[in-house]
């Protein structure tokens, strides 16, 4: 099959949906002739024109609100925020407006919009352009939260997100933009709330998100050489979360490691770990659940410090071995 990059898959998903549905449009800073901070919308203004590829002032709160207001009245906007850190500036509109309008209005309104935004560290952009704040939005009822890890997934999940009638926060990992994968040319949807078993195994389950899916797979490959079979699950969407797939995997392997790039303290890994602890899978556990996450520090600039702030493949390998050596009771 044809291989394209994650970035191209994002663009292709938007392009194909926009060719079918005139209500879909994109707004964001520098998304016009510039093509967006990461080049995701490059070429789109030429195809769809400045009405539908709508370049905005630097006004995150204003453009988030404009997206929400347009969604409330029948459009299906895709809002691009240049860096996911900037959601802080749009937070009132996302948390107090988009997430709540439907409920506050007794179900008599809907806000079908997607907020696409690049997250994560590894580019040397330091503390204000490298965060992974997905747990913040996952905490808020009314929002859906998506974190695609592969080119195939990002295309299908984005189509589903655009077609969803709710506000969806869609995190694209910056370091994944250039990664390639097999992606069908025709449009397809991947339902929100469906995890993917990225590698099957019997000894330990790793639930990993975004770029950590790739690190977990790399770790699993190395561990296989030592005869350790790791199962890697990518939830793909945090809200809704496909707990069933994780539960059945843990029942099979009896061991669970959760890994994400976001700061471990208060991170979504805690939610997954405690959901498993509360579930029927708890009785199957042969070792305590282990969480790997970012250190409790702003992302530093120096490349070695930056790497040390978030889990790496070696950390995952070490965690797997520790988990295998631990026993409950």
Applying CB under 8 A, which of residues 18, 71, 232, 262 lies at the interface with other proteins? 71
Nearer to other proteins, 27 or 232 (CB): 27
Nearer to other proteins, 85 or 306 (CB): 85
What gap in Å lies between CA 301 and CA 130, rounded to an integer?
Answer: 10
Nearer to other proteins, 23 or 315 (CB): 23
Say which residues have a Cβ less than 8 Å from residue 157's Cβ, sequence separation at least 6. 146, 148, 170, 190, 192, 236, 237
User: Residue 112: which of 237, 222, 21 has the closest Cα?
Assistant: 21
Nearer to other proteins, 101 or 246 (CB): 101
Say which residues have a Cβ less than 8 Å from residue 200's Cβ, sequence separation at least 6. 229, 231
SS3 state of residue 325: helix
Nearer to other proteins, 75 or 197 (CB): 75
What gap in Å lies between CA 192 and CA 157, rounded to an integer?
Answer: 7
Give the residue numbers annotated as catalytic, written as ranges: 129
21 binds other proteins (CB under 8 A): no
Here's the x/- map for other proteins, 127-166, by CB under 8 A: it reads as: --------------xx-x--------------------xx
194 binds other proteins (CB under 8 A): no
Q: How far is the CB of 32 from other proteins (least distance, A)?
A: 13
103 binds other proteins (CB under 8 A): yes
Tokens (6 digits) for 217: 């797979």
64 binds other proteins (CB under 8 A): yes
Question: What are the distances in angstroms from CA 289 to CA 30, 206, 274, 282?
Answer: 43, 10, 9, 10
Give, as ranges, the residues between 163 and 192 that touch other proteins (CB under 8 A).
165-166
Q: How far is the CB of 94 from other proteins (least distance, A)?
A: 11
Answer whether 263's CB lies under 8 Å from 214's CB: no
Answer whether 101's CB lies under 8 Å from 68's CB: yes
Applying CB under 8 A, which of residues 19, 96, 202, 274 lies at the interface with other proteins? 96
User: Residue 256: which of 237, 239, 277, 235 has the closest Cα?
Assistant: 277
56 binds other proteins (CB under 8 A): yes
Give, as ranges, the residues between 255 and 294 that touch other proteins (CB under 8 A).
none
Q: What is the DSSP letter of 298?
A: P
Applying CB under 8 A, which of residues 2, 74, 325, 327 lies at the interface with other proteins? 74
The binding site for other proteins (CB under 8 A) comprises 23, 25, 51, 56-57, 59, 61-75, 77, 92-93, 96-97, 101-112, 141-142, 144, 165-166
């Amino acid at each position: 099959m044809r291989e394209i990059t994650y970035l191209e898959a994002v663009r292709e998903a938007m392009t194909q949906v926009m060719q079918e549905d005139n209500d879909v449009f994109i707004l964001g800073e520098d998304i016009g002739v510039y093509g967006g901070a990461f080049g995701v919308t490059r070429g789109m203004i030429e195809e769809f024109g400045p009405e539908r590829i709508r370049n905005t002032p630097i006004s995150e709160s204003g453009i988030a609100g404009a997206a929400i207001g347009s969604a409330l009245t029948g459009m299906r906007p895709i809002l691009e925020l240049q860096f996911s850190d900037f959601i802080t500036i749009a937070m009132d509109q996302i948390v107090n407006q988009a997430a709540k309008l439907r409920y506050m209005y007794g179900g008599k309104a809907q806000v079908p919009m997607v907020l696409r935004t690049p997250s994560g560290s590894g580019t040397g952009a330091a503390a204000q352009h490298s965060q992974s704040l997905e747990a913040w939005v996952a905490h808020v009822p009314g929002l859906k939260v998506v974190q695609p890890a592969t080119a195939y997934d990002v295309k299908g999940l984005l189509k589903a997100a655009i077609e969803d009638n709710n506000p969806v926060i869609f995190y694209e990992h910056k370091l994944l933009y250039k990664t390639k994968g097999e992606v069908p040319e025709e449009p397809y949807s991947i339902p929100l709330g469906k995890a993917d078993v990225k590698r099957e195994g019997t000894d330990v389950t790793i639930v990993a998100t975004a770029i950590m899916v790739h690190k977990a797979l790399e770790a699993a490959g190395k561990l296989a050489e030592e005869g350790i079979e790791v199962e890697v699950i990518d939830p793909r969407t945090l809200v809704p979360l496909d707990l069933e797939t994780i539960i059945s995997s843990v029942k099979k392997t009896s061991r669970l490691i959760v890994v994400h790039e976001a700061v471990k303290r208060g991170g979504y890994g805690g939610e997954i770990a405690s959901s498993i602890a509360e579930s029927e899978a708890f009785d199957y556990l042969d070792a305590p659940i282990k969480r790997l996450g970012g250190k409790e520090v702003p992302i530093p600039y120096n490349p070695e410090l930056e790497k040390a702030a978030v889990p790496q493949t070696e950390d995952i390998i070490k965690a797997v071995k520790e988990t295998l050596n631990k026993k409950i009771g």
